[in-house]
Each structure stands twice: as C-alpha cells, then as structure tokens.
Amino acid sequence: MPAGTDDLSPRPRGVLRGAALTLVFAGVLATAAATGALPRQEPASAERRPAAPAPRGSTVDPAALNRAAAAAMADGKSGTEAAEEFVSRSGDRWGAVYDKKEYAEFERALDGTYTGVGLSAGRAGRDGVRITRVQPGGPAARAGLRAGDRLASVDGRPVAGLSVSEVVALLRGDGVPGTSVVLRVERGRTAWTQTLRRARLATEPVTVRRYDDGTLLIRVAAFTKGAGARVREAVRAAPSGAGVLLDLRGNSGGLVSEAAVAASAFLDGGLVATYDVEGEQRAVYAERGGDTGRPLVALIDGGTMSAAELLTGALQDRGRAVTVGSRTFGKGSVQMPSTLPDGSVAELTVGHYRTPAGHAVDGRGITPDLTAGERAEERARTVLSGLGGGS
C-alpha cells in the first residue's frame, strides 16, 4: 500500500470522501479550470473529433446537481451535504464535493503548500501505522520524530484498524495553522505522548540524488506547480550519458500541464495523451528539445495515479523508457469543477484519457515492462545498467 502523507490528503467528509479524496490529487486529472491545468483550446494542428469509447464514468448532470443543492438550501438544509449525497448516488467514482474551505486548501496544495505536521505515514504490519518520512524543518522534525516511529493514536483515537488515509486526515484536522494535534508515539520499547502544532509548509514534490555509479534518481511525489520544470532542470544538469531512474511510485497525480512538462524532459515533442471532454477528443503534447538519448527507467506501483499514469503511458508507448514495478492504480478520468449555489465546488467526471497508443487507463492501470516487488529499485538499477546508464 502506498504511503500516505499529511500534505497530500484533505479531510474526509462523509462516505463519499472515502474514494474520491483519499489523496488530494486522486480525483484531479484536470482539476480545475481555475488553475488552467488542461488546455482550453488546442493548437491549430490538433484535430478534434468524436472521442473513442471509454470506460463508463460520469452520470452526473451538473444542472440537476445545482437544482438539488438549491432546493436543499431553500428548505434550510445544507446545499453542500445535498450535493454530496447526489454525487454519491450517481455512480461517478471520482466525483467529489468540497466546501469553500476545503477547495481553497485543495488549490493551495496544487500550488505546493499545505497545512500539516510534516510527516508521511504508511502501513506497518496488519493494523499498525508507522512514520515513513519526516519533512526537515517541520513540526514533527522539530519534535524529534523519526522515520520508523509508530503511531499508536492521534488525538486519543487509536489508529489500529484505520486506513492510512484516515490517519492522515486526523493529522491534518481542519487544516488550520496553529491548531494542535496529540500523538501517541512508539519507538522500540519506548512510548510517549507528543503534542504538535500544525503549520503551513511547502511540499517537496521532486527530490534528486545521485548514486555512486553516476545514475540520477529523480523522485516525483506529485505534479504540483513547478514539478515538471524541476524534472527538466535535473535532466539538463545531469552529466552526459548518465542514466535516469524516474521514481513515480506513490505519485498521486496532480496537474496534467506539469506531467506534460516532465514528459518534455525526455521527448522531442509529440503526443503525450489524448482525452475526451463530453465526447470531444483533445490532446496533450510534449515540447520539443527533450533528451531522447539518455537511458531511462521509470519505477511505478499501485500508488502511481492520474497525471503520473499519463506520463508513464507516454514514456512506455513511445518506447522512451523501460517501466519497472507493479501495475499502476488505474485513474484515467477527467474531472472539471462546477460551483454550486452555496459556494461549494463539485468536481465531476466529464471524460477519460488514453495513452499515445490509444490504451485506456481508467480502471485498468498500466502494466510495467518488468514486474518487480519489494526489490523494485534494485531491479530498476540493474535494467538501467543494461541500457548503459550505470555500472
């Protein structure tokens, strides 16, 4: 199971949030026309035509949704809750409703900031949750918490039996900087209670390091604003001939525009993906000038989602990278925002995207060229060495 992180998960609200909001980017291939994530108009050379059949998705009529919310408000009830119930009954797997506060936090996350305590969590055994990473300079780091510590409870609630996303939601709370959260922490035979104050923190979507053999490891956690440029800069700065290990494991997606920029680091223009919006097919293209000769291996797993799958599909279909790991999540649908009468925002599925070779991703995922489990990174480095990218 991919690790969760308190910088990538909004606070669940009701049953609907279980699937749609486990990760802040999970439901957003095209999040927000507000952020211009997807092109509104294609270049003159882009052909628009009726979309090919895609997996079943949206059944939500935005006008009917607005009417339901307005009717609830007229009766003195919550328009947001009425919208949530409407979407949850619709069959739109990735549909979600955010109140004003949640959507503001959502947009800040796409900008690369979040409110939290600066730690990532993952499953430890059957029921346990452990800290997998502590962000330098964050509240958790200042309190001396370490990767490997176990969380026993959050604000008095035992974490045994909770999903990682539920634990992360407790860590985030209402997303208000300065509020406190009380953790029960275990390290070996020692246990203690630690109170942390949430803070506004910057995400680290891209980290880069170099192995002793010269191989460059580029790990992309999410495609927030600027992530694509960071990938491109890292590739341009790498020594000539050095292989690249592009780690997309646990990448929950983000902005398609950033995934396209990342693709441009390795492709000399051309198609990245096609997508349909209400029956009209459009396309995403890479920019010209990418490094097409450098050995490249992409690491993927079940936590590789949405925009990260879009990038994986482009690199795989176009023969630019060898993919290693396990089948990706299979989130290939397109959401667009719709503002409701009370100011809340509904993200509704309007279409699906396909890889350059025409493969559908939604509900299917992408199968790697080489399947690998716990030793996936080691296998990936071996493959990269065979391609001439390491010793």
Q: How confident is the model at residue 390 (pLDDT cuts 50, 70, 90)?
A: low
Q: Which of 183-187, 211-215, 322-326 has the lowest mean pLDDT?
A: 211-215
Report the alpha-carbon distance of residue 225 to residue 354 in Å, rounded: 23
On whether the pTM is more than 0.85, the answer is: no
Q: Do residues 352 and 360 touch, judged by C-beta distance below 8 A? A: yes
Q: Which residue has the tokens 């092109």?
A: 39
Q: Do residues 227 and 204 touch, judged by C-beta distance below 8 A? A: no
Q: What is the DSSP letter of 33?
A: G
Q: How confident is the model at residue 314 (pLDDT cuts 50, 70, 90)?
A: very high
Q: Shortest CA distance to 248 belongs to which of 302, 319, 177?
A: 302
**Residue 34 pLDDT exceeds 80:** no
pLDDT digit string, tens, across residues 250-283: 898 889 999 999 999 999 999 999 988 877 889 9
Q: Is residue 100 flagged as an active site residue?
A: no
Strand (E) or helix (H) holding 375:
none
Residue 231, token pair as written in the block: 């990938």
pLDDT digit string, tens, across residues 159-209: 988 888 788 889 988 878 999 999 999 999 999 999 999 999 887 889 999
Report the alpha-carbon distance of residue 335 to residue 184 in Å, rounded: 38
Catalytic residue among 331, 333, 338, 344: 331
Residues 6 or more apart whose CB falls under 8 angstroms from that of 327 comprise: 302, 365, 366, 367, 368
3-state helix vs strand vs coil in the chain, percent to 5: 25, 30, 45
Measured between its terminal Cα atoms, the distance across the chain in Å is: 31
Report the alpha-carbon distance of residue 391 to residue 295 in Å, rounded: 12
Q: How many CB atoms lie within 10 A of CB 231?
A: 27
pLDDT over 70 percentage in the chain: 84
Residue 70, token pair as written in the block: 């307005």
- Residue 1's alpha-carbon distances to 56, 121, 160, 227, in angstroms, are 26, 11, 16, 24
Residue 49: exposure state from Cβ atoms within 10 A (0-12, 13-18, ≥19): exposed
Q: At what angle do helices 79-88 and 62-74 cross, to 10 degrees?
A: 140
Catalytic residue among 58, 306, 338, 344: 306
Q: Is residue 306 flagged as an active site residue?
A: yes
